[in-house]
A and B are shown apart, each in its own frame.
Chain A
Amino acid sequence: MDSSLTSPPHGTSASTTEIVPVRRPRRRRVGAGLVAAAFLLTGCQLPTFGEYKGSTTQARTEYHLWQGFFIAGLVVGVFVLMLITWAIVRYRRKSEEIPPQHQYHTLTEIIYTVVPILIVLVLFVFTVLAENKVTALESNPATSIHVYAFQWGWEFEYPNGVKVIGQTTNDPTMVVPTGETVRIRLDSYDVLHGFYVPEFNFSRYATPGYSTYFDLNVIHNGTYRGQCTQLCGLYHSLMFFNVKSVSPADYATWLRTELALAKAHPSSAPQLPSGVHAGGGTSSNSNAGGLPYGD
C-alpha cells in the first residue's frame, strides 16, 4: 500500500521504457527500477518520519498516507530548497554590471504550473482513499461505547449500562476488545472537547448538540494514553484518559464483573460531578432516545 503511494510515476516510466527502447533508456530504467524496488522491498520498513506506526487498523492507514506525504513533501521541498540555495550562491553580486532584464519564459511557466497540479491530484486521490478507510463505519460492530466529555473528564457508557467516569484527579480507562470493531459515539455535556489518542493517530471533537461516530480496531493488547486536545476551559491541560485493549474474552469478563459490581453496590456507582449538566446540550440518558434536555 505504502509503496504504491510514491511509486506510480517511477513504475510507469519503467514499463514504457521496456516496451519502446529510446536513446537513453538504460540510466532511466535502472534508476526507476532501483527506486521502485527499494519501495517494494522496504515496504513498511520505510522510516516512520516521526509518526506513530499506529495501534489501530485506521491508524495504520493514516501512517502509510503520512509516509507518502512525507516523501512527496521531502522531494518537493528539497528540490525547491536546492533551487533557492543555488540562486543565492551562484548569483550573488560580483560586479556592478546590470544583468539581463528578462521577465518571462513561457515553457518554464507552463511546467511549474502543470507539474504541481499533477502532484496535487495524485495526493488527492490517495487522500480520499485513505479518508474513506479511516472514517468507514462497519455495519455490524462488535461493541459500541458511548463516550461523553465534560469539564474536565470523561464518561464511557457500555451497551449493558456499565459506566466508567473519571476526571482530572483520576484518569478514567476505557476498556475495549482487541481485534474487534469498536464503535465510538462521541458527545459532550458542555463545551467542545477533543477525543485524542496519539497512538491511534486520530482525534475527533466532542461537540454538544452533535453526535459523531467512528470505529476503532485495536491491533494489540495494551494501554494507550489519551487526552483532550480542544481547549475546554481552565483544566484543559489535565483532561486525560486511557484506552486499555484486552482480548475479547477478557473484555466480556470485565463487562460482566463491572455490571455485577454496579448491581451489588448501587450507591458506589460512578457519579458525574455536580454541575456538569448546567451549560450543556445532551442528556446522559440519551440511549432512551427523544428525551428533551433541561428536566
Chain B
Amino acid sequence: MTDVIAPPSVATEETATELTLPPQVPGHGIDEGHSGGHEDHGPSGILKWLTSTDHKVIGLSYMITSLVMFYLAGIMALLIRLQLSSPHSSLLTFGQFNQLFTMHGSLMLYLFAGPFAFGGLANFIVPLQIGAPDMAFPRLNALSYWLYLTGSITMMMGFLVAGGAASFGWVAYTPLASSTSSPGAGGDLWIMALALTGFSAIFTGVNLVGTIFYLRAPGMTMFRMPVFTWNMLVTGILILIAFPVLTSALIMLFCDRHFSTHIYTAVGCHLVSGAPYSGCGSPLLWQNLFWFFGHPEVYILALPFFGIVTEVLPVFSRKPVFGYKGMVFATMAIAALSTGVWAHHMFTTGAVLLPFFSLLSLLIAVPTGIKFFNWIGTMWHGQLQFSTAMLFSIGFLFAFLMGGVTGIMLAAPPLDFAVHDTYFVVAHFHQVLFGTAVMGGFAGLYYWYPKMFGRMLRENLGKWHFWLLFIGFWVTFMPQYIVGLLGMPRRVASYPSNLGWQSYNIVSTVGAFMIGVSFFILLVNFVVSWRNPIPAGDNPWDAHTLEWFTTSPPPHHNYTHLPPIRSERPTWDYNHPNDLTVPHGKTARLKKEKVPVG
C-alpha cells in the first residue's frame, strides 16, 4: 500500500508530512498561527463581530442573521397555515395575508436559503476545505455581510410603514407591482432590500470564485477539491450570471414606480384586433427578466445543499463519493441548463410556448438523476452510521425525489396549464426548496457545528428534530398536491367551503405545526450545547476533507500545517493510510495486489 501515487513536490514519508504555508494575506506576518491555539487577533467581544474581516466570523454572522430570518419566515408560514385551516377565517385580513405570504417567500428565498448557504456555510467552510487562510477579498466579504444585514432590516421595515409590507408576491409581477396597483413605501422598501442583498450576493460570488481559483493550498488541484467546494464555485458563477439581471430589473421597476418610465406597464398601448400590441411597455418583460434570474436562482439555492449532502453521505458511509468526476460534471450541466429554462415559469402566459424550453427543463432531470445515483452509489457497500446529519441527508434524498418527479410533470406545458398557480405547484416547490434548503441546510449545520464551535450538538435532540421535521414535512405538503389537483389556487386567503378543500388544509396545518415544534427543539439543542458543552475535538466524525484536519474552532488563518493533499479527501488519507481510494473497483484492486508479487 506504499505505492500510492504521490506528486513529486510532496515528500513521500508515510506520516505527518508538514507543509509550512507561505503567508498569503498581505499585511499579516508569518509569526502567527504556529502554536495552533486560539490567539487574540484584534478586538474581541462585540467589536470583533462589528469589525472583523475573518471569513469565519463573517460566516457565522451570516448564519445567525439568516437563521433569524428563517424563524421569522417560519412564524409567518404558521400564521398563513392557521388562516387556511378554515375556509373563511377572520384571523387575518386579505391585506395582511397578502403581505405575509409575500414576506414569507421573500425572507425564505432571498434572506435565508441563499445567504445561509453561500454567505454562511460556504464562507466558513470553503477556505478551510481548500487550505486557504481567508477569502480572497476579506474587506469585500465584510461589505457583503453588512449589505445583506442592511437589506434584511430594510425588508422587515415594510411592516412598520403605512400600508404595510410588500404584498405583490415574492416574484413581484408587473403591473401588480406598479405604483398604481401597489402604492406605498412597502413595495419600495422591498425593491431596495433586494437590490442591497443582490449586491451582497454578487460580491460574495466574486469572492467565492476568486478564492477557489487563486487560494488553493499546494497539492489542491481542481479535481481534488471536495464536491461542496466545487458546487460553491459553480454557484458563485451562477450568481454572477443571474443577480446582475435581477438588480437591473429592480432598478427599472423602481423607475417605473417613481419616474413613470412605463417599462413594465402597458399604458399607451394600441390594441389592434389580431395584431400584437405596439408602442408600449411590456408586463411580460418583467417576467422574462425575473425568471432569467429566478431559475438560476433556484439552483443557486439548491447546488450548495447538494454539496452539503455530498459531504455528509460519504463520511457516514465511510466511503469516497461515488463517481466524483461525474458528480462535478453533473453540477456544471445543471448550471448550464438552468440558464435556458426560465420560460417554463411562463408557459401559461401563452407567449413562450417553444418546445425548446420544455426539452431543456426535462433534460435537467438527467444530471440531477446522475447525482441521485452517485449518492446511492456512495452508500452502496458502505458502513452507514445514522447520525443526525446523515438522517437529514437521507431525508433530503426522499424529499428531493418527490419534488423532482413532480418537477418533471410541470416541465410539460399541457400539465403545467392544468396545475399552474395551484397548490400542486406550491407543494412541488416546497418539496424541492424545503427538501434542499432545510433538510440539506440543517444536515450541514449538524455536520459542521462541531467544527465551528468546538462543541457537539446533542444527537438525541437532533434525532427528535429530524423525525418531527421529516414527518411534518410529508403531512404538510402531500395534502397540498391533492387540493391543488382539485383546483385550489395559491395565494388565496379564503376559499369556498363547499368544495371539500378544508380537510386537506387542516392536515397541512397540523403538519406545519409539527415542523414548527421541531425547530423549537433545535433552539433547545443550541442552548444545551452552550450551557453544557461536550468538546468536539478536531475530527469527531472521522471525516474526509481538509477542514477536519485543523482545530475546532480553527485558529486565525486556519492552518499551521497541512497534510499531503493527494486526493479529494486528504484528512482521511492521513488518518487511514491503508485505506486509500481504489478508483475502479475490484479489477483495480486485484492488479494492485499483484504488483508486489511481480
Q: A93-B383, A120-B365 are in contact. Are A191 and B421 (CB under 8 A)?
A: no
**Given the complex, which residues of A lie within 8 Å of B332, measured CB to CB?**
none
CB atoms of B266 and A280 under 8 A apart: yes
CB atoms of B582 and A100 under 8 A apart: yes
Complex Cα distance, B492 from A66, in Å, reads 25
Complex Cα distance, B319 from A84, in Å, reads 16
B465 within 8 A of A: no
**Given the complex, which residues of B lie within 8 Å of A191, measured CB to CB?**
173, 175-176, 181
CB atoms of B383 and A100 under 8 A apart: no
> Which residue from B178, B413, B579 sits with its C-beta under 8 Å from A131?
B413
Residue of A91, A95, A240 most packed against chain B (CB within 10 A): A91
CB atoms of A103 and B583 under 8 A apart: yes
> Which residue from A69, A229, A238, A280 sits with its C-beta under 8 Å from B494?
A238
B363 within 8 A of A: yes
**Given the complex, which residues of A lie within 8 Å of B359, measured CB to CB?**
124
Residue of A nearest to B95 (CB): A234
**Given the complex, which residues of A lie within 8 Å of B412, measured CB to CB?**
65, 69, 123, 127, 130-131
Among listed A13-21, A105-113, A157-165, interface-contacting one: A105-113
CB atoms of A80 and B418 under 8 A apart: no
B175 to chain A, nearest CB (A): 5
CB atoms of A203 and B401 under 8 A apart: no
> Which residue from B348, B380, B397, B411 sits with its C-beta under 8 Å from A205?
B348
Q: A50-B482, A196-B487 are in contact. Are A208 and B175 (CB under 8 A)?
A: yes
A222 within 8 A of B: no
B349 within 8 A of A: yes
Complex Cα distance, B180 from A190, in Å, reads 10
**Given the complex, which residues of B lie within 8 Å of A151, measured CB to CB?**
181
CB atoms of B358 and A205 under 8 A apart: no
B417 within 8 A of A: yes
CB atoms of A91 and B320 under 8 A apart: no
Complex Cα distance, B415 from A59, in Å, reads 10
> Which residue from A77, A93, A101, A230 sits with its C-beta under 8 Å from B401?
A77
Residue of A nearest to B353 (CB): A135
Which of chain A's residues 49-88 have a Cβ closer than 8 Å to chain B? Answer: 50-52, 59, 61-62, 65-66, 69-70, 72-73, 76-77, 80-81, 83-84, 87-88
A-contact 0/1 string along B395-430, CB 8 Å cutoff: 001100110011011011111011011100000000
**Given the complex, which residues of A lie within 8 Å of B420, measured CB to CB?**
194, 196, 203, 229
**Given the complex, which residues of A lie within 8 Å of B20, measured CB to CB?**
none
> Which residue from B94, B369, B490 sits with its C-beta under 8 Å from A229?
B490
CB atoms of B482 and A201 under 8 A apart: no
Complex Cα distance, B282 from A281, in Å, reads 10
Residue of A nearest to B329 (CB): A113
Complex Cα distance, B274 from A289, in Å, reads 9
CB atoms of B178 and A293 under 8 A apart: no
Residue of A77, A98, A240 most packed against chain B (CB within 10 A): A98
Q: A69-B409, A286-B273, A291-B271 are in contact. Are A100 and B381 (CB under 8 A)?
A: yes
B323 within 8 A of A: yes
CB atoms of A98 and B376 under 8 A apart: no
CB atoms of B492 and A237 under 8 A apart: yes
Complex Cα distance, B418 from A200, in Å, reads 8
**Given the complex, which residues of A lie within 8 Å of B487, measured CB to CB?**
196, 198-199, 225, 227
A177 to chain B, nearest CB (A): 22
Complex Cα distance, B166 from A144, in Å, reads 38
Q: What total of chain B residues lie within 8 Å of the partner, measured CB to CB?
A: 106
Residue of A nearest to B270 (CB): A292
Q: A109-B326, A229-B420 are in contact. Are A209 and B277 (CB under 8 A)?
A: yes
**Given the complex, which residues of A lie within 8 Å of B98, measured CB to CB?**
231, 233-234, 236
**Given the complex, which residues of A lie within 8 Å of B421, measured CB to CB?**
194, 196, 203, 229-230
CB atoms of A66 and B267 under 8 A apart: no
B269 within 8 A of A: yes
> Which residue from B271, B322, B324, B585 sits with its C-beta under 8 Å from A283?
B271
CB atoms of A294 and B417 under 8 A apart: no
Complex Cα distance, B485 from A268, in Å, reads 39
Residue of A104, A108, A198, A280 most packed against chain B (CB within 10 A): A104
> Which residue from B178, B373, B580 sits with its C-beta under 8 Å from A279?
B178
CB atoms of B384 and A281 under 8 A apart: no
**Given the complex, which residues of A lie within 8 Å of B586, measured CB to CB?**
102
Residue of A94, A112, A235 most packed against chain B (CB within 10 A): A112
A-contact 0/1 string along B581-594, CB 8 Å cutoff: 11111100100000
Complex Cα distance, B534 from A288, in Å, reads 79
Residue of A nearest to B588 (CB): A102
B439 to chain A, nearest CB (A): 14
Q: A88-B379, A91-B383, A203-B348 are in contact. Are A66 and B494 (CB under 8 A)?
A: no
Complex Cα distance, B589 from A229, in Å, reads 60
A47 within 8 A of B: no
CB atoms of A231 and B169 under 8 A apart: yes
A99 within 8 A of B: yes
Complex Cα distance, B94 from A235, in Å, reads 7
**Given the complex, which residues of B lie within 8 Å of A70, measured CB to CB?**
409
**Given the complex, which residues of A lie within 8 Å of B21, measured CB to CB?**
none
Which of chain B's residues 341-369 have a Cβ closer than 8 Å to chain A? Answer: 348-351, 353, 355, 358-359, 362-363, 365-366, 369
B312 to chain A, nearest CB (A): 14
Q: A73-B405, A205-B349, A283-B271 are in contact. Are A230 and B379 (CB under 8 A)?
A: no
CB atoms of B271 and A282 under 8 A apart: yes
**Given the complex, which residues of A lie within 8 Å of B402, measured CB to CB?**
77
A214 within 8 A of B: yes
**Given the complex, which residues of A lie within 8 Å of B409, measured CB to CB?**
66, 69-70, 73
B297 to chain A, nearest CB (A): 19
**Given the complex, which residues of B lie within 8 Å of A279, measured CB to CB?**
175, 178, 180-181, 265, 267
B493 within 8 A of A: yes
B278 to chain A, nearest CB (A): 10
B209 within 8 A of A: no
CB atoms of A104 and B415 under 8 A apart: no
B91 to chain A, nearest CB (A): 14
Residue of A nearest to B366 (CB): A116
Complex Cα distance, B270 from A206, in Å, reads 17
Residue of A nearest to B98 (CB): A234
> Which residue from B94, B176, B267, B381 sits with its C-beta under 8 Å from A102?
B381
CB atoms of B398 and A281 under 8 A apart: no
B220 within 8 A of A: no
Complex Cα distance, B397 from A109, in Å, reads 19
- 29 A–B pairs (Cβ distance < 8 Å), ordered by A: A51-B485, A65-B414, A69-B412, A80-B401, A84-B394, A92-B383, A99-B318, A100-B381, A103-B320, A104-B585, A108-B377, A123-B412, A124-B362, A127-B358, A127-B414, A128-B358, A130-B412, A131-B414, A134-B417, A135-B350, A194-B420, A198-B487, A204-B417, A208-B175, A209-B269, A210-B284, A279-B175, A279-B265, A281-B269
**Which A residues form the contact surface with B (CB < 8 A)?**
50-52, 59, 61-62, 65-66, 69-70, 72-73, 76-77, 80-81, 83-84, 87-88, 91-106, 108-109, 112-113, 116-117, 120, 123-124, 127-128, 130-131, 134-135, 151, 187, 190-192, 194, 196, 198-199, 201-205, 207-214, 225, 227-238, 240, 278-283, 286-287, 289-294
Further pairs besides A104-B323, A282-B266: 19, Cβ < 8 Å: A62-B414, A84-B376, A94-B383, A98-B579, A99-B319, A103-B324, A105-B323, A124-B362, A127-B362, A128-B355, A207-B283, A209-B269, A209-B284, A227-B487, A231-B490, A233-B181, A278-B180, A280-B266, A290-B270
5 tightest A-B CB contacts, nearest first: A281-B266, A209-B266, A198-B487, A229-B421, A212-B350
